[in-house]
Structure 1
Amino acid sequence: MTIHIAAAPGDIAPTVLMPGDPMRAKWVAETFLDNPRCVNDVRGMLGYTGTWHGNPVTIHGSGMGMPSLSIYANELIRDYGARTLIRIGSCGAMQPHVNLRDVILAMTASSISTPSSTLLREVNFAPCADWGLLQAAANAAQAHGTTPHIGGIWSTDTFYDDRTDLTDQLTRHGTLAVEMETAELYTLAARHQARALSVLTVSDHLQTGAALPSDQRATGFVAMVEIALAATFPD
């Protein structure tokens, strides 16, 4: 047990999928895992452990933003021995060729700052995905009949952001999408020699203003979850 996770020793699997929304964690666990059981509900941040094709998997919410994710990822790695962490979440497209419901595999994640920035001080650390997971996810997506976008994304500290100039420059430099967690996840994985990847579904578009209705966000994320699981446990 930790400050934020009430799971008992052995309750957390070595592989953890991390959606931001705790209710999405519940949906993923009940939809994809066999015999899921709730192993954490502290502060409403739900975590479930079950099996997928016989492999133990934990689905645990991360909350919104890098500070929240940092708390859970640190405790999952440090105190529960998680070795593979995959963020499954939504993002906002920044490129015209990226469409709603498309899947993005985040190779790198840019940011202004993360909770780890105080450790790195003046260094502009370049957080990136684990290559083995990235390659496996790309293969899993193709097998699923999905062609993912693979490249850099933008992890921002703010949801309501008036820095249109920054968005314009990131778009100009080929950034695929924006979300709020990946840069810190990749940094923590590097620090603790764990594996990490973000598999994202486009839920809205910064250029067109298009967005998925709230009732379609969960059900539209099936491919993302299947890709994440298949990447972790390739045949």
Structure 2
Amino acid sequence: MGIPTPHISAKTGDFAKTVLMPGDPLRAKFVAETYLEDPVLVNPVRGINGYTGTYQGKKVSVMASGMGMPSIGIYSYELFNYYDVDNIIRIGTAGSMHPDLKIRDVAFGMGACTNSSFGSQFELPGTYAPICSFELLKKAVETAEAMEDVNYKVGNFLSSDTFYDDSMGTMKWAKMGVLCVEMEAAALYMTAARTGKNALAICTISDSIVTGEATTAQERQTSFHNMMKIALEIA
């Protein structure tokens, strides 16, 4: 398979080496229009909009992943394998499972546990532990340290296949030190590992399983600026 792919209509060279990847197409549009100079829509297929522009003189792309591991698995695979992308930085939302991780705090996923069978395709004789790019993580933490009023934690994520969990078992992961739950990081990290590329998930806490607090859909789309700024600085 070459380009265009079944899911991306962009041409060779349309994407930067680093792609910021929110789940929400409207967040991708917001990042492009708010932070990028001269953003160009390079992919409109299925409404998963991808844009390329410049940020402080650097060529940067931002494209949505959609929801869940199958979706980010498709887009990250195609970007890494066919569009010569080296780095994907997920900028998403997560639900806190840690009492010290509050609404609007930022979490960096050093690793990603999962209840998904996504990794079974690799036919490994054991359990694979997906981790991020240390280089990207180091830069992200240094950037967060230099910014004012950024509360963050680094640790393990849970990438879940279920948003509505009938077993109500999500908090069981907290006793093992897992910080928060989201739906994409593990698949992104596995795809990056398989392709020899780099990935990092940066998530803003949008709701807390501990306290029951939550933000609105509009707030999630347009107001999580610290996460966006960190990702852009390290792109």
TM-score by length of 2: 0.95
Supply the distance in 2 between the matched residues of 1:71 and 1:114 (Cα, whole angstroms): 15
Which residue is 1:226 aligned to?
229
The CA deviation string for residues 55-114 of structure 1, in whole angstroms up to 9 with x for no partner, is 111101100000000110010011100000000000000011110000000000001224
Identity of aligned residues (%): 45
- The amino acid across from 1:197 in the alignment is L
CA distance in structure 1 between the aligned counterparts of 2:175 and 2:119, rounded to whole angstroms:
27
Aligned to 2:94: 91
Q: How does 1:1-235 map to 2 (within 5 A)?
A: 1-145=4-148, 146-164=150-168, 166-232=169-235
Contact 1:114–1:184 (CA under 8 A) maintained in structure 2: no
Deviation per residue, 1:204-228 (Å, 9 max, x gap): 0112111012222233310001111
Which runs of no fewer than 5 residues in structure 1 stay unpaired? Answer: none
- Give the counterpart letter for 1:158 in structure 2: T
- Please identify runs of 4+ aligned residues in structure 1 that moved more than 3 A: none
C-alpha deviations, 1:133-174, integer Å up to 9, x for none?
10110010111122310000100001111222x323211111
> Aligned AA for 1:7?
A
Return the alpha-carbon distance in structure 1 between the equivalents of residues 40 and 89 of structure 2: 19
Q: Distance in 2 between matches of 1:155 and 1:13?
A: 26
Aligned counterparts of 2:182 and 2:125: Cα–Cα separation in 1: 24
Distance 1:200 1:221 in 2: 9
Q: 3-state SS of the aligned residue for 2:155?
A: strand
Query: Does the 8 Å contact 2:48/2:64 carry over to 1?
Result: yes
- Mean Cα deviation higher: 67-76 or 114-123: 114-123
CA distance, structure 2, for counterparts of residue 142 and residue 219 of structure 1: 23
Query: Which one is further off, 176-185 or 139-148?
Result: 139-148
Tell me how far apart the structure 2 counterparts of residues 147 and 206 of structure 1 sit (CA, whole Å): 18
- Per-residue CA shift, 1:1-21, capped at 9, x if unaligned? 111000011101110000001
SS at match of 1:216: helix
Contact preservation (8 Å) 1:114, 1:183: no
Asked whether the equivalents of residues 101 and 220 of structure 1 are also in contact (C-alpha less than 8 Å), the reply is no
CA distance in 2 between counterparts of 1:200 and 1:120 reads 29
CA distance in 2, matches of 1:231, 1:218: 21
Alignment check: 8 A CA contact 2:30 2:222 kept: no
DSSP 3-state at the match of 1:36: strand
Q: Partner letter of residue 63 of structure 1?
A: G
For structure 2, the residue ranges without an aligned partner over 5 or more in a row are none
One-letter identity of the residue aligned with 2:162: T
Query: Shift of the alpha carbon at 1:43?
Result: 0.9
**The residue matched to 1:176 in structure 2 has which SS?**
strand
TM-score, normalised to structure 1's length? 0.95
Provide the secondary structure at the position in 1 that maps to 2:67.
coil
Shift of 1:122: 4.1
Mean CA deviation greater in 178-187 or 205-214: 205-214
